[in-house]
Amino acid sequence: MLAGALGSAVALILTGTGTAAAAPPAPDEPVRSGQAWMGAGTRIEQGPASSAAGEITPMDTSGVQGIDVSHWQGAINWGSVKAAGIDFAYMKATEGTSFKDSSFNANYTGSYNAGLIRGAYHFARPNVSNGATQAGYFASNGGGWSRDGKTLPGVLDIEHNPYGAMCYGLSTTQMRTWINDFYNTYKARTTRDVVIYTTASWWNTCTGNWTGMATKSPLWIAHWGTSNPSIPSGFPTWTIWQYTATGRVGGVSGDVDRNKFNGSFTRLQALANNSA
């Protein structure tokens, strides 16, 4: 979808409930436990993004476009999202070992019914349990997978800790073990390789430039305000790129993360179906 076409679809349309988006904490305010979202830690690294009302950040809005959401976006009109040229969406399902996003069920079902290819993500909390425990919780609470052509593999959202120490108090060796345990447990539960969402800065710092996941997990890289995202050590390329946190899309009230898939729509379907 070309940027001009997307630019014509920036009307803020709510669903019939009239529920508006809640305002996430300001950059200098703490995030309450369980309330993190994809990019909450990224903004600590890359700075708070901002945009004028109604504008789309002028990044790469060509190709296969997607968004990621959580309860912070409020009620979403998924039919309008689809009409705005969005082909895929990820939504927060879980965090840590006990939090489930309050909007997950509505978003997961609504996006599917509107014809989007969708998936779920887990916000990692490596300081509260081991990776296997959190992978099991995720798989049991929205992170499952089925070969229906509409369900993408789950995402491990592992980024700068918005609650405290950047690397959650783990050494690079401990972090590698945590991620590997999450990966192995998720694959055992779903048969799929978990997608990893991260930033180059966080990954290189907190895993010690680890290359151990490069041939196993598709990479979802977060790098805002650039035309050429930096990727972590060892990964050959990115599969999804989160290029802004201040995009606008018809059907969503306020800013929403915008993403691009690295390939054609047919390749996106192949990722959903786990086919070559």
Catalytic residues: 68, 157, 159
Q: Which amino acid, 32?
A: R
The whole-angstrom separation of Cα 232 and Cα 139 is 26
Q: Is 11 helix (H, G, I), strand (E, B) or coil?
A: coil
Cα 149 to Cα 272: distance, rounded to the nearest angstrom:
6
Q: How far apart are CA 220 and CA 201, in angstroms?
A: 14
In degrees rounded to 5, what are phi and psi of residue 19? -80, 120
Beta-bridged to residue 67, according to DSSP, are 89, 258
* Number of neighbouring beta carbons within 10 Å of residue 130: 15
Q: Which of 229, 239, 230 is nearest to 193 (CA)?
A: 239
Element (H, E) at 42: helix 42-46
- At residue 18, the 3 state secondary structure works out as coil
